[in-house]
Chains A and B, each alone.
Chain A
Amino acid sequence: MKSYDAIVVGAGHNGLTNAAYLAKSGLNVLCVEKNDYIGGATVSRNLYKDWFYSNCSYVCSLLRPEIYRDLELSRHGLQVTPYGGGAVFMENGDFLGSYADHEVHYREYARFSKADADAYERYSADVMRQCKFIREFLLRTPPDPASFKPKDLKELAYLGAKFVEMGEERMYDTIRFWTQSVAEYLDEYFETDVIKAALSGSGIIGTALGIHSPGTAYVLLHHYMGEVDGNIGAWGYARGGTGAVAEALSKSFQSYGGELRTVSGVEQILVKNGKTAGVALSTGEEISAPIVVSAMDVKNTFLKCMDKNDLDETFYNRVKNFKIRGSSGKVNIALDGRPSFPALPKGSPLLDGDMHFIDSMERMERAYDDWKDGTWSKDPYIDMVLPTVTDPTMAPPGKHFMSCFVQYCPAKIEGRDWTEEEKEQFGETVIDQIAQYSPDFKDLILHMEVRTPSTIEDEIGITEGNIFHGELTMDQLLFNRPIPGYAQYRGPVGGLYMCGSSNHPGGGIMAAPGCNAAREILTDLKRPDITPVNFGDD
């Protein structure tokens, strides 16, 4: 039986990051992946002729620049290009633009309300303050508040100090911010419905909650706290599609001597005498290692890949009740040309940005109502982008790849599996909404891939296709993520670790859970900590 110092299960971006750091530290590391391609949801797929689809995740902002630099991802081929602005199309023929240029953005908001245009400045500063607070903790292991270990006390004191540093007024604000709904939060700044609708989208993406549900204000923060080259809140595209992130990580991992095996799904994580012993692959092969790191979500790891007898009852039940609900789908489209959007002025930079088609808070909430009723939103929130506007590598010249993130979309229809017909109807819903604002859009469609939470789960493995490996609400954040007492990347069995997005600081292409888990593993092995520290004070 082959043996390694450590086996990382799942070659998604966190698995690869973790594996890269372990290998860089000198360990003999194997990373196993069930699919015949790497990346998990961080992937570019060639599903139609010369088109490459970022068919799961499609934009990049959260990826920690410290890791990007430290693992030399640029040298290994990764290039993230920012894109600016976007538009919300309105039913009355108007639109709300979001512009990269500050003054132009002000003018656009002022077209609807001078007060809102002014309020946006205060809103930006308040959100930035929250970003600054949380960014301190992205590359740190959360403290265990119930522990009296010096390390935990110290970290808890650090957290407290950063909190107190904000000042009294802002401490209150922060507690409210972390628990309130995005709708209430936006009400404190804005009066214009379409402006609130435009900003509220970031509060529900990837989350089975509505804009009026408590906890969604934090989700908004999760979409603002990233950056592209120091521009906090900016988003970009990985050149060549999102898979370029995984490709670069994999090259980095292999440059440190790591070994990668695809088509090697893990059937079970093996435990012997209460300690991790290795993995059994679905091929029947067993590989031994004293350390197994799961990059899978927490439900997959413990409910599917472990013997229940190796786990305690309460732990098992907490995992079972971890919220990781299917709430969004994806429609990926190959286009014969660039669709026109007549509502936007010719030559407008808005044409190069993201596009949305819901213009009121009422419609945002109604979209959630459908999900609660066990079906997809008939008037969904769509985040639509055309990465090929800036990326010449993903489609032939003059042709385009369109990525539509669609919310809400349940894992099951009224409690039962989706039918093929329903899946098609879901795709049609998306097409129809966009076509309302783009008369030539339907005629340009060459190929499309419709993905519901269940198809994502079937292929990638993520439970209910939840993009964050579990919802980002206060009960599942920081020392509560994934479950209290297990927020420091260590599983309940010795030698078992978790490095996926079910762990702090959560989902998105961030690589922080993978990196943080590596630091804890190296600490346990009494090896020097080679993980990067926060660039600080940005």
Chain B
Amino acid sequence: MTVTEVDLGRYQSPFYPRQAEIDRLNRWHEWKGYSSADGFYDTTLEYFATRNSAGAFDITPMTKYRITGPDALDFLDRLVTRNMRKIKPGRVAYAVWCDDGGHVIDDGTIFHLQEGEYRLCSQERHMAWFKAAAIGMDVTIVDETEEICGLALQGPTSFSILNELGLSGIDQLRPFGLANYDFNGTDIMVSRTGFTGDLGYELWITNDRAIELWDALFEAGKHFGIMAMGTAALEHARIEAGFLAPFEEFLPAHTTVRTGRARSPLELGLEWLVDFSKPCFNGRRALLDEKKNGSTWRLVKLDIEGNKEAHQAFIFPKKNGGKECGFVTSAMWSPVCKQNIALGTVRTPHGNVGDKLWVEIYYQREMHWSRVMAEATVVDKPFWDPPRKRSTPPEPY
């Protein structure tokens, strides 16, 4: 018997041949076994493309499951904290799923493709958990990560580009909607979703058509400022949008070693995703207890004075001395908001909206380190929240 050894190198996305052509930076990192670019031309310009015109980001390495069968809805509804019965075909739901202790295992998007058929996309891999959760249900779960590729097209001109691409009816696609469109004679699935907090879409297609999609998209976008975009730019956009990233704002519960390092949805500001009126979902009892007794942690959005980025900073309730009450998980100077922003996690009761906290920032200038205590205000809304994100049809260019 001859066994083919598993691939020892990094996977290349089906878009890789085109990415390699345009790449000037030669800065790649690993994302779930794939080579993924930090950036292609200039990470600053790529970031601005998502806020000013459009950035195309390769989301192929996302873990993707196809969930089908008569019990698919029951399975998902029991799995996640959100009420999946409200998510009709043609809609997409952001959701989290928890372990029995109410700790978040992961977050992801669930696409209701058609009656009884779903796609779930997440950062991490979950076949073991899903199979266990599916015991006794008539549901089929297939990992289609390596069959389906995806491109996120994000930014104000993204709608005009898809229009130019000839996706008739794309103007009617609402936020968190999905639909199939004719693309060169066959279907392409497009959802109005993304990780930038701006107007944007995700396009999903089988691997064999990746190059065809890339070429058509960049041709359609040539007068609309389309730019390929790497992870560095996306990371900035997602912080401005106030979105959580696994391993930054939370750890998938199954990966934690130390007690108390996992987080509940309530602690992550995701109570709106938890529907206690559902009779059963995993973690319900624990979350009900937490709701009654209070959470330990709270995720906060911080608007920090000055312009020194608060990377890895401790957060204090008072300016001078005292014990810290939390730490920053993601920080940046926001070029579009012109604000010094951060996401952080603090112990309750600290971190109510409007609270003033203090962030201890270390910054380096010409080898020497300096320290500043900067006042930080806890804010409610995403830092970047343009109305175009919500408007249907979106404004054309």
Contact = CB atoms under 8 A, between A and B. Distances in A.
A537 B339 CA distance: 17
Contacts of B223: 397-398
B161 to A, nearest CB: 10
Contacts of A82: 44-45, 48
A69 B339 contact: yes
Interface stretch (B263-271, B273-281, B330-338): B330-338
A397 B51 contact: no
A74 B225 contact: no
A538 interface: yes
A390 B53 contact: yes
A273 to B, nearest CB: 44
A397 B397 contact: yes
Given A81-B48, A535-B307, A68 B225 contact: no
Interface in A385-405: 389-393, 397-398
A101 interface: yes
B42 A101 contact: yes
A535 B338 contact: no
Q: Which of B51, B53, B156, B365 has the most CB of A within 10 A?
A: B53
B329 interface: no
B160 interface: yes
B333 A68 contact: no
A390 B337 contact: no
A65 interface: yes
B370 interface: yes
Chain A CB within 10 A, most for which of B48, B53, B338: B338
Given A65-B338, A69-B339, A349-B41, A390 B307 contact: no
Contacts of A229: 333, 335, 338
A239 interface: yes
A230 B333 contact: yes
B52 A391 contact: yes
B157 interface: yes
17 contacts: A68-B338, A69-B338, A74-B336, A74-B339, A80-B335, A84-B42, A84-B45, A100-B42, A228-B335, A229-B338, A231-B44, A239-B52, A392-B157, A392-B160, A397-B397, A535-B307, A537-B370
Interface string A96-121: 00001100000000000000000000
A64 B300 CA distance: 28
Interface of B: 24, 41-42, 44-45, 48, 51-53, 156-157, 160, 164, 223-225, 306-307, 333, 335-339, 365, 370, 397
Given A392-B224, A538-B307, 11 more contacts: A74-B337, A74-B339, A79-B52, A82-B45, A230-B307, A349-B42, A390-B48, A392-B160, A397-B397, A398-B223, A536-B306
Contacts of B307: 65, 230, 535, 538
Interface size class of A (residues with CB under 8 A): 20 to 34
A73 interface: yes
A209 B298 CA distance: 60
Interface in A339-377: 349
Contacts of B338: 65, 68-69, 73-74, 229
A488 to B, nearest CB: 27
Q: 6 closest pairs, A vs B, by CB?
A: A397-B223, A398-B223, A229-B335, A535-B307, A74-B338, A392-B397
Given A79-B52, A390-B52, A537-B365, A397 B42 contact: no
B333 A79 contact: no
Contacts of B336: 74, 79
Interface string A201-236: 000000000000000000000000000111100000
Q: Which label, helix, strand, loop or mixed, suits the secondary structure of the B interface?
A: loop
Contacts of A536: 306
A292 B292 CA distance: 60
A82 B157 CA distance: 18
Nearest to A347: B22
Contact of B52 (A65, A74, A81, A231): A81
A230 B194 CA distance: 28
A56 B44 CA distance: 27
Contacts of B41: 349
Nearest to B227: A390
Contacts of A391: 52
Nearest to B395: A393
A534 to B, nearest CB: 10
Interface in A519-538: 535-538
Contacts of B24: 101
B45 A392 contact: no
A535 B338 CA distance: 13
A464 B338 CA distance: 34
Interface string A58-84: 000000010011000110000111101
Interface string A9-32: 000000000000000000000000
A229 B236 CA distance: 13
Contacts of A397: 160, 164, 223-224, 397
Interface string A79-97: 1111010000000000000
Contact of B156 (A100, A389, A392): A392
A375 to B, nearest CB: 40
Nearest to B336: A79
A84 B370 CA distance: 30
Contacts of B333: 229-230
Contacts of B365: 537
Nearest to B339: A69
Contacts of A81: 48, 51-52
Contacts of A537: 365, 370
Contacts of A84: 42, 44-45
Nearest to B54: A392
A101 B44 CA distance: 11
A230 B164 CA distance: 36
A316 B53 CA distance: 51
A349 B53 CA distance: 17
Nearest to B48: A81
B372 to A, nearest CB: 9
B224 A535 contact: no
A82 B41 CA distance: 14
B177 to A, nearest CB: 24
A228 B45 CA distance: 12
Contacts of B53: 390, 392
Nearest to A83: B45
A234 to B, nearest CB: 9
